[in-house]
Chain A
Amino acid sequence: EAGVAQSPRYKIIEKRQSVAFWCNPISGHATLYWYQQILGQGPKLLIQFQNNGVVDDSQLPKDRFSAERLKGVDSTLKIQPAKLEDSAVYLCSSGDPFTDTQYFGPGTRLTVL
Chain B
Amino acid sequence: RKEVEQDPGPFNVPEGATVAFNCTYSNSASQSFFWYRQDCRKEPKLLMSVYSSGNEDGRFTAQLNRASQYISLLIRDSKLSDSATYLCVVPRAGGSYIPTFGRGTSLIVHP
Q: Report A's interface with B, CB cutoff 8 A.
A: 33, 35, 40-45, 48, 50, 55-56, 91, 93, 99-107
- Chain A at the B interface: SS class: strand
CA distance A44 to B34 in the complex (A): 16
| Contact residues on B (Cβ < 8 Å of other chain), bracket | 20 to 34
The minimal Cβ–Cβ distance linking B80 to chain A, given in whole angstroms, is 23
CA distance A43 to B104 in the complex (A): 9
Chain A residue at minimal CB-CB distance from B98: A56
Chain A residue at minimal CB-CB distance from B91: A100
CA distance A99 to B48 in the complex (A): 11
- Asked if B43 CB lies within 8 Å of chain A CBs, one says yes
Q: Are B96 and A101 in contact (CB under 8 A)?
A: no
CA distance A107 to B39 in the complex (A): 13
Q: Which of B43, B49, B98, B104 contacts A91 (CB 8 A)?
A: B43
The minimal Cβ–Cβ distance linking B27 to chain A, given in whole angstroms, is 14
Query: 14 additional contacts, CB 8 Å, given A43-B87, A104-B44?
Result: A40-B8, A40-B103, A41-B103, A41-B104, A42-B101, A42-B103, A44-B101, A55-B96, A55-B98, A100-B34, A100-B99, A101-B34, A102-B44, A104-B43
The minimal Cβ–Cβ distance linking B108 to chain A, given in whole angstroms, is 15
Q: Which of A41, A99, A102, A103 contacts B99 (CB 8 A)?
A: A102
- Asked if B66 CB lies within 8 Å of chain A CBs, one says no
For residue B89, which residues in chain A have a CB less than 8 angstroms away from its CB? 102
For residue A107, which residues in chain B have a CB less than 8 angstroms away from its CB? 43
- Asked if B59 CB lies within 8 Å of chain A CBs, one says no
